[in-house]
Structure 1
Amino acid sequence: MKKAVYTSYGSPEVIQIIDIEKPIPNPHEVLVKIKASSITRADTMMRQGTPKFGRLIIGLFKPKNTALGTGFSGVVESLGNKVTKFKIDDEVFGEKLFSNGTNAEYLCISEDSIITLKPHNISHKQAAPICDGFLTSYSFLRDIGKLKQGQHILVNGASGSLGTAAVQLAKNMGATVTGVCSTKNVDLVKSIGADYVIDYTKNDFTKMRDYFDIVYDSVGKTNYSKSKKTLKANGIFMTPVLGSNVLWYSIISPKRVKFSATGIRKQRDLKMLLAELVTFFSQGKLNTVIDKTYKLENIIEAHKYLESDHKVGNLAIVN
């Protein structure tokens, strides 16, 4: 089977497509023939080895894990002899972190991991990015920010993967939503439910005063020191983007600044969140915004496009 890997840090050109043997599932694993997989900003940061202090964890001089991709959607092709939760030909989707990668043709994954049946009303390319965008944003809005009906949330980077998810989720949770994006994406952000949209090329939301209950910086393009005056008295700033600024403030002001890595949360908590998301998608309450799709052999071009900062919503690798 074909699989995307990188063995050194650097530009998109460090990515290689290699041929390896198709994996064989262990007793509690399923073998998934991948129809679509995710590609995210986090993938480009891992490939670049940035921020550099992160290399203390992911590999000081070269990556410890050379695989790419976390989200996937596909069809169960075979089962381990102790699998009870899935059957052959089930359409499934999910996420596999710190693993052998999903930008590939096949994947073995435990039936108890982040994997579930795909709703029939969405495609594989729409399902593959759900755990990267929607699961992360839902974790922040529901569990970390504890967003309540009637609160006002600002989503910075509202046209990105996490941002388009957060806008839709916040509206479903009964909040008032202000999205921040560029001029070309204003109509999109309005169309997915934002009550107000700020074009950052024309207006600076950090000049607003005592306005928001939550500022959710989904893209790491601002910080607490810039945004704190926009927050109400008990408001919070939260972001999934790792940086020294947010780490420092989350330590000295933990009630006001929240950073979290969704992938290190307890698996049972993530599975509960995912089950709720599946219900929302099945009911047609959420929609995955897809910008472009790429074939696996063109993954280098996909990484280049990600780095151009022109991406809207999500990208998907399709097999």
Structure 2
Amino acid sequence: MKAIVSPRYGSPDVLEVREVDKPVPKENEVLVKVHAASLNYGNLVLLKGEPFLARFAFGLLKPKYLIPGGDIAGRVEAVGKDVSGFQQGDEVFGDLSGSGWGGFAEYVSVPEVALAIKPAMLSFEEAAAVPMAAVTALQSLRDKGKIQPGQKVLIYGASGGVGTFAVQIAKSFGAEVTAVCSTRNVELVGSLGADYVIDYKKENFPVKTERYDLIIGVNGYQPISIYKQALNPHGTFVHVGGSGAQMFQAMAFGPWISMTEGKKVGSFLQRANQKDLLFIKQLIESGKVKPVIDRCYQLSEVPDAFTYFAEGHAQGKVVITV
């Protein structure tokens, strides 16, 4: 089969299209013919080996996982003898980041707990855009942020993969949502249900008169003190993504701020979870959440897809058609 292989850490130029052995499913695994995959921030970490601490999980000197790719959607081709939840022909989607990656290939064999039945109304490309970004948004809002109906929630970086899902999921929980994005994305995030939109190119953040119960920082560079200023007295800031300096501040100073000031500040790392993926599926089927796709690339164009994604200006998700 054809696959994208990452033999060493580096820029998208290190990625190669190779013929590799088609996987054979183990007893508890499902063999999926991949129709589509998508890019997430974790794919960049796996490609570059940065930040360096990530190499203790992904391989110290070279990538531990030869074939990158986390999110997939496709059709079940075969199942191991212990698999009970899927059968040949099922259309599925899932997040492989917790089970060896390998999504940028024509076939992948993964534990059944990494998958769920694809929402019937979504194309394979739309379904592949969902798992990691949507579950990240859900876990940051619900589990880390403890979102409640009626709260004022701000999503900083609302137009990217995680941000577009975060706006919609926060609305599904009954929150009042303010989205922060650039000028060209104002119409997009408004169409996703945001109650208010701050164009950071025209307005300074934070707006002096507004305070929020929960802030999700998906993408940004401001010091943590800026977000802390925008919180209500017992508000919560969750760092999901952004500059390295911002991540360091959230990890280093967040616990101290949380202990001494009443405001909670912390960082967050998504965990692949089949139960949460099924929860997202229900939101999609009820019409409360939809994926947003910026561009689609072919499997052979994955290096170009990485180059575009790394620029940080994608509206929603970047998808690979396999």
1:209 and 1:230 in contact (8 A); partners too: no
Amino acid at match of 1:184: R
Equivalent residue for 1:260?
Answer: 268
Deviation at 1:82, TM superposition (A): 2.3
Does residue 281 of structure 1 match 2:284?
A: yes
CA distance in 1, matches of 2:52, 2:114: 29
Distance 1:45 1:222, change over 3 A: farther
Deviation at 1:210, TM superposition (A): 5.6
Deviation at 1:3, TM superposition (A): 1.3
2:45 and 2:54 in contact (8 A); partners too: no
Equivalent residue for 1:306?
Answer: 309
TM-score, normalization by structure 2: 0.92
The farther-off stretch of 69-78 and 41-50 is 41-50
1:69 and 1:103 in contact (8 A); partners too: yes
Amino acid at match of 2:37: S
The farther-off stretch of 178-187 and 57-66 is 57-66
CA distance in 2, matches of 1:285, 1:210: 27
CA distance in 2, matches of 1:300, 1:315: 12
Deviation at 1:221, TM superposition (A): 3.1
1:210 and 1:233 in contact (8 A); partners too: no
Deviation at 1:220, TM superposition (A): 4.4
Equivalent residue for 1:315?
Answer: 318
CA distance in 1, matches of 2:3, 2:93: 18
Equivalent residue for 2:250?
Answer: 246
Deviation at 1:228, TM superposition (A): 0.7
Does residue 185 of structure 1 match 2:185?
A: yes
CA distance in 2, matches of 1:57, 1:84: 30
CA distance in 2, matches of 1:54, 1:25: 28
1:158 and 1:189 in contact (8 A); partners too: yes
Distance 1:157 1:40, change over 3 A: same
CA distance in 2, matches of 1:228, 1:156: 13
1:181 and 1:200 in contact (8 A); partners too: yes
DSSP 3-state at the match of 1:55: helix
CA distance in 2, matches of 1:16, 1:34: 18
**Mapping 1:51-70, distance limit 5 Å:** 51-70=51-70
Deviations 1:281-316 (A, max 9, x none): 112221100011111100011011112222110011
CA distance in 2, matches of 1:48, 1:100: 15
Distance 1:181 1:78, change over 3 A: same
**CA RMSD of the aligned region, Å?**
1.7
Deviations 1:138-160 (A, max 9, x none): 01111111111110111011000
2:129 and 2:293 in contact (8 A); partners too: no
CA distance in 2, matches of 1:249, 1:282: 40
CA distance in 1, matches of 2:52, 2:85: 41
2:160 and 2:313 in contact (8 A); partners too: no
Does residue 218 of structure 1 match 2:218?
A: yes
**Mapping 1:159-238, distance limit 5 Å:** 159-208=159-208, 211-238=211-238
CA distance in 1, matches of 2:101, 2:318: 20
2:160 and 2:314 in contact (8 A); partners too: yes
Does residue 108 of structure 1 match 2:109?
A: yes
CA distance in 2, matches of 1:206, 1:49: 33
CA distance in 2, matches of 1:103, 1:220: 28
CA distance in 2, matches of 1:225, 1:15: 39
Deviation at 1:18, TM superposition (A): 1.5
2:254 and 2:265 in contact (8 A); partners too: yes
**Share of identical aligned residues, percent?**
36
> Please, which runs of 5 or more residues in structure 1 have no aligned partner?
none
Amino acid at match of 1:85: G
Amino acid at match of 1:106: Y
Deviation at 1:133, TM superposition (A): 1.2
DSSP 3-state at the match of 2:206: helix
Distance 1:78 1:59, change over 3 A: closer
Deviation at 1:223, TM superposition (A): 4.1
Deviation at 1:84, TM superposition (A): 1.6
Equivalent residue for 2:300?
Answer: 297
- The count of corresponding residues between Structure 1 and Structure 2 is 313
CA distance in 1, matches of 2:183, 2:210: 25
